[in-house]
Structure 1
Amino acid sequence: MSNSSFVPLVQAWINDVTSGQPSGEGPAFDALRDEVGRQAPPSRRPDLYQDDQTLPSAKVLLKVVGLADVSRLIASGANVAVDDLAHDLTAMCAAPTPVRETWLLLDADLPAGTSVPIGPYTLRTATRTDLSALHPLPSLLPLLPNVRLHPDVLQRSAFLTIPRPTAPLTSGGLQLTLDTRPALRHIEVLTTLMMWRHEPLHLDAVFHIEAGRHVGASVPFEDFPLDAIFDNEGEVVAEVHQRGRYKVKQTELTAFAAFCARTWNIVDTVASATPPTPDPFRKASRRFGAAARHLIQASSRTYGDDYIDDHELDELLLQYVIGLEAILKGSKERARQPTVVIKQNAATLRLDDHARAAAYNTMSQSYNLRSAYAHGDEVKNLNEAAVAEARGLLIDTLLRWLVTSEALGADAADELQRTLINDDARAAVVTRPLRTFFASTPPAVRPADA
């Protein structure tokens, strides 16, 4: 439909706002709302109506679609183009009722055009056009201050998106965001990505998207890191979202997608059991949850080239070691020598003597540092390299534990001690499953023992 029917109505509303008329009152706004109702009847766009109204909700049009923001622009003296606003309103009315989606902004560096399904999620990059289309009034974005999900800032950024078809759409009322650690709501997919390569991966922001209707954001994550772009004179001409060290190359995309698909299936199998279901993976699910939460929380506090605040080195190491303990301490062992069992199990998940010795030694060093900190002793030789080594050990061990647990059909930690003295058990639980996995869907850096 042509936007000509909206043009005179928009012009009249702008005139009213300019003269001091409240944005949601007066005959001009009423006529504008009537036209929205004519082009988007409740039978097709019920999201624009409230409480069985026969007219679109003024609150939705003002606070959700954004006409209140436009009125503030007009009151400040900004030149709002009538044709542009009329075009945006026509497009908004013609669009179908959106489904609420969550968009997780990651600091990953991905090739343009990436679109990789990972369970119910899609890992993707978005163009400026893609991001503009999510906004209800895209033509006014250059004029609006504090735009969430700004196309110029976030184009080419990496997002994990997931539909929320049962979640209610925004009504325009006050929304309180109290979730200060949203990454912990997405541990399965974030851990799947982190097992591809060992560089830290950060969740920088969470957006709540109703495409073409509303863009919201979780409050604590709006100030994500930016990189400045300079002109030839050294003046800042733009700012873009800062990417981290987690990178997927164009030549790796096929292998990356295969790894993510296979690993997600393993994670979903091993980690999805919930009580009181009598599931053989119920214990493994608890173990995975504990290890993944510690991994994500600790790695989120590592930046750049493994930079960690000196005051947090010991805490991060503690979290990585606790994550290792969660998946390596078999429940059949009593308190006699739990640290020995943990070190042995870390080594047992490796496929040759060199890798076993390296894992055992790294586990021993990390555990000694952890014990010194936990017991209030002086922590010596603790640095960023030691913490990075512990992070790498946790990521690699978690992947191997997941693969062997899936093959076993239960939590592998209880069986690893038995494989020390039984070659058949070792072949069935450790060797064959890991060699098959690493041959078919290896991570970015294939382990030397695979």
Structure 2
Amino acid sequence: MSKHLPLSEAVLLWLEHARNLPPTPQAITDAALSVLPEWDALEEAVAAAAPRDEHPDLYAKVDGDWTPNYRTLLGESGLGEATRLIAQGATVPVPEVADSFVAFCTHPAPVPERWLLLNATFPHGTRIPLGRHTLQTFTLEELLQTVPMPALNGLKPDGLDLGLITGAPFLHVPDPDYVVTRRPTWFDFTGPRAEAQHWHALLPLMLWDSYLLRADSVFTVQRGRRFDLNPAAVPLTIRVYSDHYGGQEEVEVRDTGEFHVPATDLPALTAFCTAISAKIDAIMAGVTHKRRIPRLRARRLERAARHLLSAYQRTHADYGVWEVEADELHLDYVIALEALLISPNDDENEGIANNFRSRAAALFLTTAEQERTEALVRRAYKARSTYVHGDVIKDQTEQEKLKELRALRHLTLQVILRWLVLTPSGTDDLAPLLDAAAQGTGREQHIDRPLRAFFTATPPRSRPADITTA
């Protein structure tokens, strides 16, 4: 700290002067723009401790000259908020604020990250690599290190309640090319929706357990500078607790949804996610001796994942979707299945529906599951045709439709998982192997044995009914 003592002293001098300022953001900005010796001394100290060639993010051009950017120094650092609190008469830990400001100016600018808040519960200390992403639950101390001016947390009446998201699961990924131009929101129409952008990391978690998993919000973090999660972006629910006097107290807590992972399952989840992420990476990288097929396989997987995620984001409970969207979700699941099971060599006019059914069934190891799968796919494909041709599905009640949609969701998860297990094994196209297996040829070698091996070594939470370890 002695190296940056002049900067620390300049901050302390400015904060001392803050007691004389009106407690409004505009007044504080005006003070920084006026000719105040305290602010001039602060800018000079910043320029000496953090020259522009080392910290260009701190500077802006004014009248042709590069000077420390007052918006950055006041806004992103948290110094403006500390100034306002002191002007209001609040008790602020001034030495900690000064230390944070010095670190803000002299440390390298953090790489922007995209963070997704999941509606799920994972054990404390969870940290699972998922390709470039990381699934992590954060302690309060760890979250404090991500926000500007940790010493101010809890002092701002409109600030984020970090206790609300302590222990919450986040998927985060570095995004060095992301340019922060405004506060990002869930409905940010400048690019694809978040579930589509981050399907590589979401898919392994969804394949682990059929309980619903969604991204509740997405935002930008520059650790120590920006923490753009708005409290309104955290879905809440009411939980009732009994008090010591026999009464009840209602408390707002984060809605954790239905996807819960106990600590005892964490090693198995980690192993499963590691295995599935490797298979996704292999397909997306196109590990094979031909060129066209890798691109096709990668597009197939991405398309299936996107449609699956699109349906998940609009499914609010195990048996719950908006009635007006039920048919569209049905179509999403069928498209996901078709993306993986229809071969580029299939005749467009003959046999596609039959191939679709038989290949889906061939992915299952017992006669009972094959028959159940074929019947479900037959009904799903018929409903899909009815919908896309503009007709109305009339032979199902709302309850029957929701039950069928749930069964189709579970089947889609199983087909994607089995396709992932089998496809990267050196084949150009899985369809011929599934067609042969449906005819009783090569089934044990190409289908049954690899599936049993995978489900034995790295099983999901629930072992499928057709998989035995024998």
Band of TM-score, shorter chain: 0.7 to 0.9
1:368 matched residue in structure 2: 382
Distance 1:320 1:125 in 2: 30
1:157-306 maps to which residues of 2 (within 5 A)? 157-167=168-178, 170=180, 174=182, 177-178=188-189, 179=191, 181-216=193-228, 223-228=233-238, 232=243, 239-273=252-286, 278-306=291-319
Please say if residues 111 and 248 of structure 1, whose CA atoms lie closer than 8 Å, have aligned partners that are also in contact. Answer: yes
Please say if residues 23 and 84 of structure 2, whose CA atoms lie closer than 8 Å, have aligned partners that are also in contact. Answer: no
Partner of 1:417, secondary structure, is helix
1:343 aligns to 2:357 (yes or no): yes
Distance 1:387 1:146 in 2: 42
- Cα offsets for 1:103-128 (capped at 9, x unmatched): 11111210001011111111110111
Distance 1:46 1:325 in 2: 50
- Cα offsets for 1:233-285 (capped at 9, x unmatched): 65656x432211112221111111111111111111123449xx924322211
Distance 1:89 1:371 in 2: 62
1:28-427 maps to which residues of 2 (within 5 A)? 28-42=38-52, 44-50=54-60, 55-70=67-82, 80-93=92-105, 95-144=107-156, 146-147=158-159, 150-167=161-178, 170=180, 174=182, 177-178=188-189, 179=191, 181-216=193-228, 223-228=233-238, 232=243, 239-273=252-286, 278-334=291-347, 335-375=349-389, 376-381=391-396, 382-421=400-439, 423-424=441-442, 426-427=443-444
Deviation at 1:429, TM superposition (A): 2.6
Distance 1:272 1:119 in 2: 12
Distance 1:38 1:229 in 2: 53
Please say if residues 10 and 32 of structure 1, whose CA atoms lie closer than 8 Å, have aligned partners that are also in contact. Answer: no
Which amino acid in the other structure matches residue 384 of structure 1?
Answer: L
Distance 1:174 1:161 in 2: 19
Deviation at 1:411, TM superposition (A): 2.9
Gaps (5+ residues) in structure 2?
A: none
- TM (norm. structure 1) is 0.88
Relative to structure 1, the CA distance from residue 401 to residue 174 in structure 2 (aligned partners, 3 Å threshold; closer, same or farther) is closer
Partner of 2:121, secondary structure, is coil
Distance 2:340 2:221 in 1: 36
Distance 2:240 2:312 in 1: 31
Which amino acid in the other structure matches residue 151 of structure 1?
Answer: L
- Cα offsets for 1:278-336 (capped at 9, x unmatched): 24322211211221111000011112343212222222112111211111112222121
Please say if residues 77 and 101 of structure 2, whose CA atoms lie closer than 8 Å, have aligned partners that are also in contact. Answer: no
Distance 1:222 1:412 in 2: 45
Partner of 2:258, secondary structure, is coil
- TM (norm. structure 2) is 0.84
Please say if residues 407 and 429 of structure 1, whose CA atoms lie closer than 8 Å, have aligned partners that are also in contact. Answer: no
Choose 288-297 or 159-168, whichever is displaced more: 159-168
Choose 208-217 or 245-254, whichever is displaced more: 208-217
Which amino acid in the other structure matches residue 355 of structure 2?
Answer: V
Relative to structure 1, the CA distance from residue 370 to residue 416 in structure 2 (aligned partners, 3 Å threshold; closer, same or farther) is same
Partner of 1:303, secondary structure, is strand
- Cα offsets for 1:328-351 (capped at 9, x unmatched): 112222121211110100100111
Number of residue pairs aligned between Structure 1 and Structure 2:
440
2:33 matched residue in structure 1: 25
Distance 2:79 2:239 in 1: 32
Gaps (5+ residues) in structure 1?
A: none
Choose 191-200 or 62-71, whichever is displaced more: 62-71
Which amino acid in the other structure matches residue 448 of structure 1?
Answer: A
Please say if residues 113 and 126 of structure 1, whose CA atoms lie closer than 8 Å, have aligned partners that are also in contact. Answer: yes
- Cα offsets for 1:156-211 (capped at 9, x unmatched): 1001111234546x5xx656743461211111211121111111211111121111
Identity of aligned residues (%): 32
